[in-house]
Amino acid sequence: MTRPDDDPTRAARLARFQPLSGMAMPRFAGLASLMRLPVLTPKEAVAEPIDIGLFGIPFDSATTNRPGARLGPRGVREQSALMRLVNHATGVCPYELCACADLGDVPVNPADVVDTLARIEAFTAPLHAAGLTLLAIGGDHLVTYPLLRTLGRDAPVGLIHIDAHSDTTDSYFGGAKLTHGTPFRRAIEDGVLDPKRSVQIGIRGTLYARDERRWALDQGIRIIEMERVIAQGLPAVVTEARAVVGAGPTYLSFDIDSIDPAFAPGTGTPEIGGFTSREALFLVRGLRGLDLVGADVVEVAPPLDPSGTTALVGATFAFELLCLLAEARARRRG
């Protein structure tokens, strides 16, 4: 199958997959899609083919505190209408580099966690096999687990995980192995995530036990707690994170609760003392040049923030991640 990477009509293809311009239709009008991009079914995306598929995972049945992230994709879609074309800080226009489209939502089963995980894999596996880069909007953080299973099936990937929580707990209430606090432990156990090429940034908050993060540290995960971020400064943290993941394929997972609730209150498990939205932008932009093969934004819960601010933060970081993924794909294309 011919990919856009070597398609002689690439320029024409890119021209077809541009966001709806705010100069043609006001940004508050029209049907909502991620970044105002054209909407394709997964089968259409593979047949077209496109480079980067954006999609939603409207699922929060694995959350252990406040629900609401099932409405994250819808809220982010609406707020993403405020994103324009060019990243003012980096100069990147992802739509000049890659053909992108909104592929809709995974048809989740809100009453069955195990079935939903299987559905996410079934949705993403053909896209990955066809060579698409994936950018997912959750949903609670358990949705990252099947995404890692898809991307790490042939070889484990590295991880940059920006979050307030390590999400490497073994179980909840003594037996629940599949919650939004367990995805990275399950991924490591499955051999799809390389713990020695994994770094968690911004970790903070109270613990159930003093040794709660011991398992993650024993596996080789680098945990940069928020106190160390403050003590060392963001440039040092960026340098350390880049060194941990190195030049290999890496996944980037951005939990909205990494942001202080003063800036993003609409999330299930808020923790004070987090990043300002400006600091998080600096952090994410510092990851340019890594071999990023997929990404997600999770735990946006619009019902917990009727102002829409948290969804706007989520949409903004989705755009930032799209810029990183587009640049990484363009580098692999050479």
167 is in an annotated binding site: yes
190 is in an annotated binding site: no
6 is in an annotated binding site: no
How far lies 46's CA from each of 13, 251, 260, 265, in Å?
14, 21, 38, 37
- The answer to whether 34 and 81 have CB atoms below 8 angstroms apart is no
Q: Which residue has tokens 């987090």?
A: 274
- The answer to whether 178 and 114 have CB atoms below 8 angstroms apart is yes
pTM across the whole model: 0.96
User: Could you tell me if residue 80 is inside a domain?
Assistant: yes
CATH label of the domain that carries residue 183: 3.40.800.10
How far lies 120's CA from each of 143, 149, 188, 253, in Å?
8, 10, 18, 16
User: Could you tell me if residue 16 is inside a domain?
Assistant: no
- The answer to whether 75 and 307 have CB atoms below 8 angstroms apart is no
How far lies 295's CA from each of 137, 192, 235, in Å?
9, 15, 22
**Which pLDDT score, from 0 to 100, does residue 136 have?**
98
User: Could you tell me if residue 160 is inside a domain?
Assistant: yes
CA distance 222 to 236: 14
Per the structure, how many domains does the chain have? 1
**Which pLDDT score, from 0 to 100, does residue 174 have?**
84
141 is in an annotated binding site: yes
211 is in an annotated binding site: no
CA distance 253 to 256: 10
User: Could you tell me if residue 88 is inside a domain?
Assistant: yes
Q: Which residue has tokens 């995974």?
A: 106
User: Could you tell me if residue 185 is inside a domain?
Assistant: yes
Pick left, alpha or beta for residue 19 (phi over 0 → left; psi -120 to 50 → alpha; otherwise beta).
beta
Pick left, alpha or beta for residue 117 (phi over 0 → left; psi -120 to 50 → alpha; otherwise beta).
alpha
Exposure class string for 1-23: b at 16+ Cβ within 10 A, else e: eeebeeeeeeeebbeebbbbebe
User: Could you tell me if residue 243 is inside a domain?
Assistant: yes
88 is in an annotated binding site: no
**Which pLDDT score, from 0 to 100, does residue 4 have?**
47
Domain extent for 279? 27-332
Residue 169 DSSP code: -
User: Could you tell me if residue 250 is inside a domain?
Assistant: yes
Outline where the chain has alpha helix (H).
Answer: 10-16, 42-47, 72-79, 94-97, 113-129, 144-151, 183-189, 214-219, 226-232, 234-245, 277-285, 309-333
User: Could you tell me if residue 2 is inside a domain?
Assistant: no
CA distance 146 to 118: 8
**Which pLDDT score, from 0 to 100, does residue 8 have?**
63
Low-confidence ranges of the chain (pLDDT < 70): 1-8
- The answer to whether 162 and 253 have CB atoms below 8 angstroms apart is yes
